[in-house]
């Protein structure tokens, strides 16, 4: 069922008021079979990774994925494979796994969005990536009008990357569900510095899955704005990866610059770069940079997508001018 001239303000965490000329709430796979394969589609889940810069015209259909379901596929004494349908809320799925005592996604608690979006950019936080626990991804292929699947290896996961990222916003596939393999008796990963420090301060030597999730939630809430209060899409930029030679040149001028090995390169925190050029807490009209986390752009109320995009480009230009590092957006620009 197609709806017409629908405001997308409730469907994006930036709170940008844009209109979709054609909008379809997707509640059953059968609806996809009824759609033509030719028109481009904008695929919308939780709206936590998009910046709307214009109205979506009649030439596109915005599909809001509302498919739901959680099913056990396989289980033994050590692990469980669960199929989770793409429209499920990501954090609620994490909470479900924690309630069951399953280990593997607790470090990814409180990440906004839906399950279907998780593999697209290989979401990650606090030392874990969703690729670590994905077995396979199922998707609707608009060209073949059928559900197909890829193994985790075929998804070509990398840092905030998957084969699905190669596809433009009007892509020809829609993720329908994901198979996750989680563990029953595995020790949670607390190697990330923020978690190590947290549990040291709380004198916890062997935290449970629930304790790790609670720690992640507490840390995230202390640093990141609540999109229900202040419009944002979490991390706006990816942490750039630079060559060792580039890193050596920069460290000579910025000895306190943090960096982490990534294969034979170095990953530099984008938030540090943005803070160093003086943009942490910066405000321009109703758009700005969060005062506690420079990686987060915020809508203070009434900002347009164009204003936020202009600020993002300004930051990119200043970072490149000072560090010769090209920041890439993690957020999709519509």
* Residue tagged active-site, from 22, 106, 235, 307: 235
* 166 in catalytic set: no
Residue whose tokens read 């379901």: 69
Distance in angstroms (rounded) separating the CA atoms of residues 251 and 183: 41
How far apart are the two ends of the chain, measured CA to CA in Å?
23
Please pick, among 79, 160, 210, 310, the residue that the annotation labels catalytic. Answer: 160
316 Cβ contact list (under 8 Å, min separation 6)? 237, 326, 327
**Active site includes 249?**
no
Evaluate whether 140 touches 221 at the Cβ level (below 8 Å).
Answer: no
* Stated length of the chain: 334
Backbone angles phi, psi at 130, to 5 degrees: -65, -25
CA distances from 71 to 87, 168, 185 (A): 14, 30, 20
Active site residue 264: no
How much of the chain is in helix, strand and coil states, percent to nearest 5?
30, 30, 45
Distance, CA of 123 to CA of 156 (rounded, Å): 14
The sign of the torsion formed by the CA atoms of 108, 114, 116, 121 equals negative
DSSP element (H, E) containing 316? helix 305-323
Q: Residues with catalytic annotation?
A: 160, 235, 330
């Amino acid at each position: 069922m197609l709806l017409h001239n629908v405001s997308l303000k409730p469907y994006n965490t930036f709170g940008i008021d844009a209109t979709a000329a054609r909008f379809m709430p997707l509640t059953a796979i059968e609806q996809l079979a009824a759609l033509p394969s030719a028109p481009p589609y904008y695929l919308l889940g939780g709206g936590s990774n998009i910046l709307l810069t214009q109205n979506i015209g009649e030439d596109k259909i915005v599909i809001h994925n509302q498919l739901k379901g959680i099913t056990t596929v396989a289980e033994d004494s050590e692990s469980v494979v669960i199929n989770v349908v793409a429209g499920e809320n990501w954090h609620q799925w994490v909470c479900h796994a924690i309630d069951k005592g399953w280990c593997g996604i607790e470090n990814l608690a409180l990440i906004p969005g839906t399950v279907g979006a998780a593999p697209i950019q290989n979401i990650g936080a606090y030392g874990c990536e969703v690729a670590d626990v994905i077995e396979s991804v199922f998707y609707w292929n608009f060209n073949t009008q059928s559900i197909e699947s890829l193994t985790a290896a075929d998804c070509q996961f990398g840092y905030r990357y998957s084969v699905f990222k190669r596809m433009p916003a009007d892509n020809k596939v829609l993720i329908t569900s994901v198979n996750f393999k989680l563990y029953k008796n595995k020790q949670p990963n607390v190697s990330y510095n923020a978690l190590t420090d947290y549990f040291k301060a709380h004198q916890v030597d062997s935290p449970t899955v629930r304790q790790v999730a609670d720690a992640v939630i507490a840390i995230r809430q202390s640093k990141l704005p609540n999109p229900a209060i202040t419009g944002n899409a979490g991390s706006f930029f990816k942490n750039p990866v630079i060559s060792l030679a580039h890193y050596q040149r920069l460290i000579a001028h910025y000895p306190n610059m943090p960096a982490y090995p990534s294969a034979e390169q170095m990953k530099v925190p984008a938030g540090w770069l943005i803070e160093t050029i003086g943009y942490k807490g910066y405000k321009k009209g109703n758009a700005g940079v969060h005062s506690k986390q420079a990686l987060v752009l915020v809508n203070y109320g009434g900002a347009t997508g164009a204003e936020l995009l202009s600020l993002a480009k300004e930051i990119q230009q200043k970072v490149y001018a000072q560090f010769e590092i090209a920041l890439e957006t993690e957020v999709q620009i519509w």
